[in-house]
Each structure stands twice: as C-alpha cells, then as structure tokens.
Copies of this chain bind each other. A is one copy, B any other.
Amino acid sequence: MLEKRNPIPVGEAVRRVMEFAFEAKKEVVPLTKAHGRFLAEDIAADIDVPAFDRSPYDGFAIRSIDSKGASRDNPVIFKVVGEIGAGYVFEGTVGKQEAVRIMTGAPIPKGCDAVVMLELTQEFEENGQSFMSIKRPFEAGTNISYRGEEVRKGEALIEKGEFINPGVIALLATFGVSDVPVFRKPVVGVIATGSELVEPGEALQPGKIRNSNAYMMMAQVERAGGTAMYLGKLKDDLEECIDAVLKAMQEVDLLITTGGVSVGDFDNVPAIYEAIGAKVLFNKVAMRPGSVTTVAVKDEKLLFGLSGNPSACYVGFELFVRPILRKAFGSKRPHLKRAQAILGADFPKPNPFTRFVRGTAFHENGTLKAIPSGFDKSSAVSSLAKANAFIVLPRGSRGYEKGMQVDVLLLDDQEGSEWPWDDIVKSYKL
C-alpha cells in the first residue's frame, strides 16, 4: 500500500524541528584549545585597555608646557633624566625641562603629558649628561594612548554563543581568560541504512554502492561544531534496525539515519519510528532534493531521517541538523546565512517544490553571483564537492532565467542567519 504523505513548507519543517532545540552543557578548555569552539558565557573586560596611559611610539616623554615657544631658530632643550622600556614603570616625577626616553608601550612617567617621536628630536651629550632638543611645541595629549580609551573595565566584550575566531582569542587573552567557558560538543550519532552499502575500503560487488553519506555527514557534523559518532551501517532488516536505533539513542544527543525514508517496501525508517514510539514531526517537505526527509522525536531527542541520496542527505543536514547544533551553542543566528545573488544559469522547468541547487557563490565586481556546481540530481555526489551555497529556487509555475536575483544560503560561513525562511515561505505558500 502506498502511504499518502502531506508535504509541508521547508520553513514550517525547520520551525517544528527548532521546537526541540536544546542548549549544550558547558565545559572549560584552556585558551590554546578554544579556537573554533563557541563561548558559553558573556565576557566582560576585567581591566581598562590600555591599563595605563602609554606611549604608542618610541620617543621622549615631556611636560608639554616646557615645549612652548620651540621653533627651528629657537630649539628648546630638555635634560634626559632616565629611560623606560615597555613593561617597566618610571620612578619619580619628571620636572621642568626634563625628558624621559620612552619606548613603545611603556607607561607615561608622572608629570609628563606628551610624547615626542624620536624622529623629531635631536640628541646630544654634555659632560656625561644626555640632552635632547626639539624645534616645535607640542600640545598636551600628543602621542598618548589614554587608559581605557579602547575598552573600559566592565564593558561587555563578547556574547555567549559567539564563535571563537583568532580575534576573539586575542580578546580573551587580553582580558585574562586563560580558562575559557565553551559549550560541549553534542554527540551526533550517524547510522547508514541500506543493504546496497559497502564501506569505502571494501570491495564493490555488483549492485552495491559505496557508503558515502555517513562519512559526508560526519564531516558536516564536524563543520557545524559537533562530534560525530559513527554507529555503522544497517541492512534493510527491521528488527536489526530497531535494536540499533534504541541502543544508539542511549549514547547520543541526537541521531541521524540516512536512507530508508521513502515509501518503498524496504524503507524501514517510518516503521522504526513507529516501533520505538517516536513522534513524527513531518515526513514530507516541499523541497527538492530531500522531500522525503523525516524528523521524529522520542524522549525529547531528535531523530533525523535523511534521504539516502547524497545531495538530499547533504541538504537535509544543513537545513535541519545544523541549526540544532548551532542553537545548542547558544547561537542567535543558527541557520545558514542567506544572501541575494544573480543567477548564472537557466532553470527553465517550473517545480512544484522549492529547489535547493548545489552551487558556487562568488563575488564579481561587488555583486554576488551563483552558478550550479554540476549535475543536478539528488543522487549526484559530484555536485557537492565544489558547492559553497544552495541556490534557492522557490516553487511555482515558472522557471528561472540567468540574470534573475535569487536567494542563496551560504555553507562556508560562521555568521549564519537568525531565520532565513520568512519570505521564502511566503513566496511558495502551499
């Protein structure tokens, strides 16, 4: 018997999944291990930056008042009473017509209110005493980086949920966060189903294909920030599948299966969900590839039943699984980043379902363009390697032409978007 399924819009499908979003647990890692993780707490400045008035250049610290009247014809002379390197503090107070040789980053000595760059001074010695002279006056504040001018103590610096890039690492170091609170990586179980699958290192027999989806998804899990746990591949045997899924659910935070979601006799995923008492959120999405994507929930844990077709599996992961992982990391922009691009190819055939064409987005003279990255069939694994975007072609009664503006969803991006689906949904309301 053919089961009748009702397709729902992709935005609605994502919305139903996101109702089961969760926040990952926290852990603390050393600063040297924090790159690429997600911050689990807001970070505020523990000090002013700069922490003291300092010199941005090598030169001489002076009292500006003493430079008054200096000119080419009438240089003003200062007695050099000391020198101060970065990391040291000048003891004492600088007096009238006195100067201190100062290095980049060193604190301004007491009494001084300006720094003259080395290039603008003339040094000389008399009777073993160093002097320097200048040929123009300097105003108070010249070449001083004031305490707190960059960041004030207590100021909010980075929010919980931010991706930790090298710039964030620099900020954490500057403010003494040597132990960094980050979100733990959720464990994502990956199961491949299908009697046709052999592992990449095994011999290929007639009728068999290599299991590419499990390995691809493990990399997608890693790119999204999670930890993948490969739980093997299953034959099309229902009892075996049920046992494997129940066992897997004890070990993982969420579970992905690939394959077995169609309506064929050997497609076991719906039967597995029924057998274990999982609630199906949807089993048909108005999208291509991946219309048979099925998502269920048991004991608050999400079970993603992705298509066995590589492209459909890939798209399903990025649309449905990625935002759950990013949300677990506290991200306010857990979904793929959406941008507008000029379509670089014709898609004359209208489609009753919104299409997500694997493509390459690139900048040309300030404009984003997007071209499909190869053979566009849901089974086409070769279109995935070069793809850095999905070209979104909303459902409708017309095709698309080269030169039209379309939405794209960018894959190699850490920024994401809050909710990319609103007007895409509108444009293809079912």
Interface on A for B, CB 8 Å cutoff? 2, 31-32, 34-36, 47, 49-52, 56, 58, 83, 85-89, 101, 103-107, 118-119, 145, 150-151, 157-158, 162, 164-179, 194-197, 199-201, 204, 206-220, 222-223, 230, 236, 262-266, 308, 310, 314, 339-342, 358, 362-363, 365-368, 375, 377, 379-388, 405, 412-415
Contact = CB atoms under 8 A, between A and B. Distances in A.
Contacts of A151: 382
A385 B36 contact: no
Contact of A219 (B51, B145, B166, B308): B166
Contact of A196 (B31, B47, B105): B105
10 contacts: A2-B119, A86-B194, A87-B207, A88-B196, A104-B264, A106-B196, A170-B216, A176-B210, A340-B363, A340-B365
A206 B170 contact: no
* Pairs A-B, 6 closest by C-beta atoms: A87-B196, A167-B384, A178-B201, A87-B195, A339-B363, A170-B216
Contacts of A88: 195-196, 207
Contact of A384 (B51, B170, B199, B368): B170
Given A2-B119, A178-B199, 15 more contacts: A34-B219, A58-B263, A88-B196, A104-B308, A106-B207, A150-B377, A158-B385, A166-B223, A167-B216, A168-B385, A169-B218, A170-B216, A172-B200, A178-B201, A340-B365
Nearest to A170: B216
Contacts of A207: 52, 86-89, 106-107
Nearest to A407: B366
B150 A379 contact: yes
Contacts of A367: 366-368
A138 to B, nearest CB: 19
A379 B144 CA distance: 12
B58 A262 contact: yes
Given A194-B86, A215-B173, A165 B412 contact: yes
Contacts of A220: 166
Which of A32, A179, A266 has the most chain B CB within a 10 Å cutoff? A266
Contacts of A230: 32
A276 to B, nearest CB: 23
Contacts of A169: 212, 215-216, 218-219
Given A32-B215, A342-B366, A379-B56, A314 B167 contact: yes
A122 to B, nearest CB: 11
Nearest to A101: B265
B174 A381 contact: yes
Contacts of A118: 2, 263-264
Nearest to A228: B32
Given A31-B215, A36-B222, A264-B58, A166 B384 contact: yes
A35 B219 contact: yes
A204 B341 contact: no
A103 B412 contact: no
A164 B386 CA distance: 10
Which of A107, A150, A367, A380 has the most chain B CB within a 10 Å cutoff? A150
Contacts of A107: 206-207
A419 B210 CA distance: 39
B167 A385 contact: yes
A173 B212 contact: yes
A64 B52 CA distance: 86
A341 B362 CA distance: 13
A338 to B, nearest CB: 8
Given A31-B215, A158-B385, A412-B414, A200 B171 contact: no
